[in-house]
Amino acid sequence: MQTPEEYEVSQRIGLLIKGLKHKRGMSREDICRHLGIGMRTLDNYLNGVSSFKLGTLMKFADLCRVKLADILDDTEALSRLYPDNMKDKGSILALLMTTVVSATVFEPITCILLFVLVYLCKEDQNSLSLTLIFAVVLSLDAVMVFYLKNIVFPVVESYYIENIYAYGGQLISSLLLLFLLKYRMALSVFFTRGKSASVFEKNYVEGPLYFLALTLVLIDFFALMENFLRNLDRLGMDEEASKIFWEVTFFFDHFAYLKAFPTLLCITLLYIGLLARKKSRQQLSHF
């Protein structure tokens, strides 16, 4: 059984877990995995049946990006994580949006939409080449996310290292997308062996798509750099000096939303480009 002081800390940790769920979209399973304990063990800790181990408390403090003393003494540093301070983000709508833009839900949906577009573009090699680039890259990205979440992350103890893998992988994926868009015409000629004249035409949406792909690259890059900035103490900087950067979590907190918006715009533009080219061909056929 826990002492009154230990039980007070356990209740505080329970609130922080709710805060992590609302602010960072972390489930209890995710938290248990980071702490290296089972769900039943966590329930026993929170219900006062057994006391938190020191190592578990230190891992939880690392997960929250605060000091262990902050959790024990309930300092001001914890206020940003308490769910009471995030009522605007804790609504049903916000919770639904968090679920929708999570990688496990959003990426399969985008892949399905893109392959539907691939089918619709089968008569237009120009639009098909653009759509296939997005379909292939985002499908590879979905496979990478699945591999990281189910194979890599369970054996990685540090949240800092996990973020490097996640953001680094996303950055590589976005750079690949940018590269393929830049050399789309050359790749189209190679795969069609120059048999389709339409691949030489400039698509109406090619410029905006390139800009959105560049935006995705910048989002991934800034998220990766923010992860390093937030963990300067792990890179050798004095902890007191690096502490001021622990609150820099903009890209970490909003990464899914920042990625979802330009991705959906890309899919919308691909569809608009297909309709525009189809209408243009119909007008030409009337002459």
Write down which residue in 33, 55, 88 finishes a domain.
88
Is the domain of 68 the same as that of 105? no
Could you tell me the pTM of the whole model? Answer: 0.71
Our CA angle for 146, 229, 231, nearest 5°, is 70
**Domain count across the chain:** 2
Domain limit, last residue, from 88, 118, 143:
88
Residues 66 and 130 placed together within one structural domain of the fold: no
Q: Collapse the DSSP code of 122 into the 3-class scheme (helix H, G, I; strand E, B; otherwise coil) and give the result.
A: coil
Average pLDDT, the chain: 82
Give yes or no: residues 47 and 104 share one domain: no
Question: How many other β-carbons are positioned within 10 Å of the β-carbon of residue 187?
Answer: 17
CB 198 within 8 A of CB 126: yes
Say if residue 101 is in the same domain as residue 84: no
Whether 120 and 78 map to the same domain: the answer is no
Residues 182 and 275 in one domain: yes
Q: Mark whether 101 and 241 lie in a shared domain.
A: yes
CA 66 – CA 119 distance, rounded (Å): 50
> Within 13 Å, how many C-alpha atoms sit on residue 40's CB side?
0
> Rounded to whole angstroms, what are the CA distances from 77 to 26, 66, 71, 83?
19, 7, 9, 14
Mean pLDDT score, 211-216:
96
pLDDT tier, 286 (very low <50, low <70, confident <90, very high otherwise): low
Range of 187-196, 260-269, 273-282 with top mean pLDDT: 260-269
Final residue in a domain of this structure, among 67, 88, 109: 88
Q: Which of 179, 176, 177, 184 is nearest to 203 (CA)?
A: 184
Say if residue 143 is in the same domain as residue 204.
yes
82 plus 107 within the same structural domain: no
**Do residues 228 and 153 both lie within one domain?**
yes
Closest CA to 37 of 23, 56, 21: 56
Are 78 and 127 in the same domain? no
- 36/142 same-domain check: no
Owning domain of residue 118: 97-285
Which CATH number characterizes residue 14's domain? 1.10.260.40
Residue 194 is predicted with a pLDDT of 66
Flag whether pLDDT at 150 surpasses 60. yes
- In this prediction, residues 157-166 reach a mean pLDDT of 83
Helices (H), the chain: 4-24, 28-35, 39-46, 54-64, 68-73, 92-101, 103-120, 125-147, 159-182, 184-192, 206-230, 239-242, 250-285
